[in-house]
Structure 1
Amino acid sequence: MSQPPSPQEKHLNQARTSLQQALSWYTSFRRHWNYPPNLDLQAAVRKDLQTLKAALEKLEQNVIKIATFGLVSRGKSAVVNALLGEKVLQTGPLHGVTQWPRSVRWTPASGKVQIELIDTPGLDEIEGEARAQMAREVAYQADLILFVVASDITRTEYQALCELRESQKPILIVFNKIDLYPEKDRQEIYQQLQTWATGKAGENLSEVLSTDEIVMVAAEPQPVPVRVEWPDGGVTEEWETPPPQIEELKAKILTLLNREGRSLLALNALFQAQAAEANIAKKTVEIRQQEAEALIWQYAKYKALAVAVNPFGILDILGAIIADLALIRALARLYGLPITNYQAGKLWRTIVISSGGLLLGELFSSLIIGVGKSAAAVTSMFENPTALTIYGGAALTQGGIAGYGTYAIGKAAQVYLERGCSWGPMGPSTVIQDILAQIEPNTIIYRLRQELL
């Protein structure tokens, strides 16, 4: 009898299903129904479709990406080499050996997880927007961030750490080069780092960091003199390089990944899909704006005419609601955004309620005027000229109100369709919310939950 999937496996399966569904929909020629293909739109969303494909491939490969950040000469490359157990990346005393992000694959001895380590240039080497853009792009891809320091945290490092925090990814602070400090100084710096993590002078990172996420290492220890005594009684002094002190960081990473690595992988892929779908929706709404405007006016005119000529008040209300729902579905088809009849009805109710009573007033006015119009219609059957005049005035007024209401519904629906494109039953936003609701309290993801929601 097979065992039920673990929570992490369930999260991974949910994310995989969500991305497969999104990719299937957005790459389908049928998503725009009978509307002709728009070459400008296809070109505009190509990069976002590639993002969806890459996110799904990352899930299928089950590879965790860990990115190292820090200022120049903090030993980021040395930390990567120490984790790998061999010198793959160049290190040295020169100011900033690493000039661009580099990736290397790390398979820990346990073999349970596949890890891609990403080494980055010093954050103070690249100027202005170029630095920020590089950091955003690498952090966007990463599932976990290692922020390497070599002393008490500086103002520049604190600002860089706050910028990385905006990526909403788990962060470990790696206090490197501890071999350069006496034990007393080392502990003082460690305590200062803990102070930064738990709050200092109104500026703190406690929402995403705890003291458990600060690790001390010596990734590339400096050579030390060793006294050598020879059999002939001679004594010499040689320089010997101690092995890296990296086991605590290795254990911390592997414990974290075994406990919540696949959940991190699932959430990161879903956030990438969420952003890609939002971009697709935004570009679609912009490029098809003219067609959408014509569609909204068409429904507004037809609804106004139908309500005006219909003599029965109650049917006016039902017909108006049906027309509004049909408009929402028609806009979704024009944009090629997934929406069901139930979701269209839910969206209509949301728009009516959020309009601050304006559209509710339209329905109420339509009902009152419709009743008067129906009474006038009944009276006019007995050839009362005054009743015919009342009927005509009521019909024009009600038709105008109905047409305006549909136009308002259409314009509001454009905004809601763009913003809510990922909120379907298996949409990324829905699955993200579901996963975060299941997370255990003693995890990094749980501390990030408020920022992720």
Structure 2
Amino acid sequence: MAEIENMIKEKDISTKCTFLLNQWEKNLNLTKYERTKFESFLNQLDFQIKKLEKKELQISVFGRVGVGKSSLLNALIEKQIFPADVLNGNTKTTKSYTWDKRFKSLNKVELIDSPGIDEINNAHKQAINFNNVLDTDLIIFVIDSDINRIDLNSIEELLTHNKPILIVLNRCDQWNTRETKLILSSIHRKLSFCKQKIKISLVSSSPREAKIKPNGTIRSEQKTPKVDIFKNELKDIIDQSGELLLCINSLRIAEQFYKLLKENRLLKKKEKAQSLIGKYATLKASGIAINPFLMIDLITGLALDSALVIQLSQLYGLEVGGPSARQIVKKLSFQNSLLGGAQIGIQITLNIFKQILILVAPLTGGLSLAPTAPIAIAQVALAIHATKLIGRLAAYKFLNDTNKKDGRPRLMLNYLLKKNSDLRIMLGDFKFLTSNTAKNKNHLLP
């Protein structure tokens, strides 16, 4: 982490982040099969790195159909670029526009309009739309009333992907002060899973006012949009954190790719890993069967378990050295009672019992030696089970943890998110780097 901190403290964070990602990608030692399998993901990462190099930020609006996403963008740029109408669901496909404003440290800011969350009735198209929004660097999440379950599900999903979001409550001209406070209070209560109170910006992107015509008819007239406060807030965020947002999105994509790569390697090498674990379990069992001394058993067991971890890491292409392997074994043993105190306690008890039986053998005419065989079998069975468990837990650790070299995107992402309070607010100070890797991944483990 100290290396990451030193790198960030130096000039131009985007240049440093670009260098880190390029070096990281080269060091992954991807096979031809992996490059083919993850071609689309690698293309996505390369596209994001190019955006980072060119300092081109993408901002998308997201939300339910008919909440005024298009009219909000039009109000921000003061042009009628995005199609907006009184009819709901006017935006069927994404449309982008390069904002003709100058921003600090950025060469381009692109605004992207997207279809409503509930506009697309096809689940596959919904997933594509959501992934397209995920690819952008900042998300303006638009609502026009109290949030509902669709809004909440989308916000939680975005936060679990470490996406910075700005929540905008549109059509505020419809309520008085008291009604607005009640709506905001309800929204914050429903977002209570966030550690910090997410700021909600109030806008009215396309206000209308009823007017009585001379002939007595009533018509609705377009009024000047009320978006200036949010517009200034957005400009400040882009000026102050534009490069940082680009870095975070690049690192997020890199970390997601690294997770998929590890999952693929674990699944592909599962049978070989099982064979390797079986080999070390046999070696440990043989040593215990012929050796009467407990301390030697424990030392030999640690050495074999460490060697197993090293072999597994090499098999998965996630290599660790001897000291790191011993640390993993010790950590796993400490975390798992069977591998830690319970195993040692059982082994000591069985060994003492066996030694007593051997010592009294002359007094019993050798009859007391008979029970030592079942004890030895129990010790061997325990050793085999412990070795298999070590192998499985080591694979699980490779899947969920990372080393300093291969995991630098994750380390840097974690550092940036924790060190920047403004981004924590945009993220709701959500649990950083939330991962579903641990869920339903048992099929990957040996």
- Give the TM-score of the pair, scaled to structure 2: 0.74
Question: CA contact under 8 A between 1:147 and 1:161: conserved in structure 2?
Answer: no
Tell me the percent identity. 21
What's the counterpart of residue 228 of structure 1?
none
Higher deviation after alignment, 331-340 or 262-271: 262-271
Cα 1:223–1:245, aligned 2, differ >3 Å: closer, same or farther?
Answer: farther
Tell me the equivalent position of 1:56. 49
Q: Does 1:214 align with 2:201?
A: yes
Taking structure 1 as reference, are residues 154 and 305 closer, same or farther at Cα in structure 2, changes over 3 Å only? closer
- For 1:409, the equivalent position in structure 2 comes to 390
1:26 aligns with 2:28: yes
Distance in 1, matches of 2:205 and 2:397, equals: 52
Quote how far apart the aligned CAs of 1:321 are. Answer: 0.7
Deviation (angstroms), 1:284: 1.8
Q: Deviations over 1:267-317 (max 9, x none)?
A: 333333332222222222122211111111112112322443456543332
| Corresponding residue of 1:142 | 136
Q: Distance in 2 between matches of 1:90 and 1:67?
A: 15
The equivalent of 2:119 in structure 1 is 125
- Aligned-residue offset at 1:160: 2.0
Alignment partners' CA distance in 2, 1:109 and 1:10: 19
Give the structure 1 partner of residue 3 of structure 2: none
Task: Tell me the distance in 2 between the aligned counterparts of 1:291 and 1:63.
Answer: 45
Say whether the 8 Å CA contact 1:172–1:215 is kept in structure 2.
no
Which runs of 5 or more residues in structure 1 are unaligned?
30-36, 226-238
Check 1:299–1:197 CA distance in 2 against 1; reply closer, same or farther (3 A cut). Answer: same
Cα drift, residue 23 of structure 1 = 1.6
Q: Distance in 1 between matches of 2:353 and 2:418?
A: 52
What is aligned with 1:34?
Answer: none
Q: Among residues 86, 105, 108, which one is paired with 1:112 in the alignment?
A: 105
Correspondence 1:345-360 to 2 at 5 A: 345-360=326-341
Q: 1:372: how far off?
A: 8.6
For structure 2, the 5+ residue unaligned runs are 1-5, 213-219, 435-446
Residues 425-436 of structure 1 correspond to what in structure 2 (within 5 A)? Answer: 426-436=407-417
1:160 aligns with 2:141: no
Q: Which amino acid aligns with 1:133?
A: A
Residues 332 and 339 in structure 2, CA contact (< 8 A), matched pair in contact too: no
* Cα distance between partner residues in 2 of 1:311 and 1:420: 37
Distance 1:343 1:67, change over 3 A: farther
Residues 401 and 246 of structure 1, relative CA distance in 2, 3 Å threshold: closer
> Cα gap change, 1:254/1:145 in structure 2, threshold over 3 Å: closer, same or farther?
same
Q: Does 1:103 find its partner at 2:90?
A: no
Q: Secondary structure at the match of 2:429?
A: helix
Matched, 1:288 2:288: no
Displacement after TM superposition at 1:99 (Å): 0.9
SS of residue in 2 equivalent to 1:163: helix
Question: For the structure 1 residues 359 and 13, does the alpha-carbon distance in structure 2 shift closer, same or farther, using more than 3 Å as the test?
Answer: farther
Following superposition, the deviation at residue 410 of structure 1 comes to 1.0
What is the RMSD computed on CA atoms of the aligned residues?
Answer: 4.4
Q: Structure 2 vs 1, CA of residues 295 and 17 (structure 1 numbering), >3 Å: closer, same or farther?
A: farther
Superposed CA deviations along residues 136-177 of structure 1, whole A, max 9, x for unmatched, are: 31342233222334x53464xx63244223211343333445
- Is the 8 Å Cα contact of residues 264 and 445 (structure 1) preserved in structure 2? no
Match of 1:68 in 2: 61
Distance in structure 2 (CA, Å) of the matches to 1:107 and 1:189 = 36
Matched-pair contact (CA < 8 Å) for 1:277–1:421: no
Letter in structure 1 aligned against 2:258: E
Q: In the aligned structure 1, how far is the partner of 2:185 from the partner of 2:10?
A: 32
Counterpart for residue 90 of structure 1: 83
Q: 2: CA distance between counterparts of 1:211 and 1:413? A: 39
Question: Higher Cα Rg: structure 1 or 2?
Answer: 1
How far 1:357 moved relative to its partner? Answer: 3.4
What is the 5 A alignment of 1:20-419? 20-29=22-31, 39=33, 43-113=36-106, 114-127=108-121, 129-130=123-124, 132-134=126-128, 136-149=130-143, 151-153=144-146, 155=148, 159-168=150-159, 169-176=163-170, 181=173, 185=175, 187=177, 190-199=180-189, 203-204=190-191, 207=194, 212-218=199-205, 245-310=226-291, 313-366=294-347, 398-419=379-400
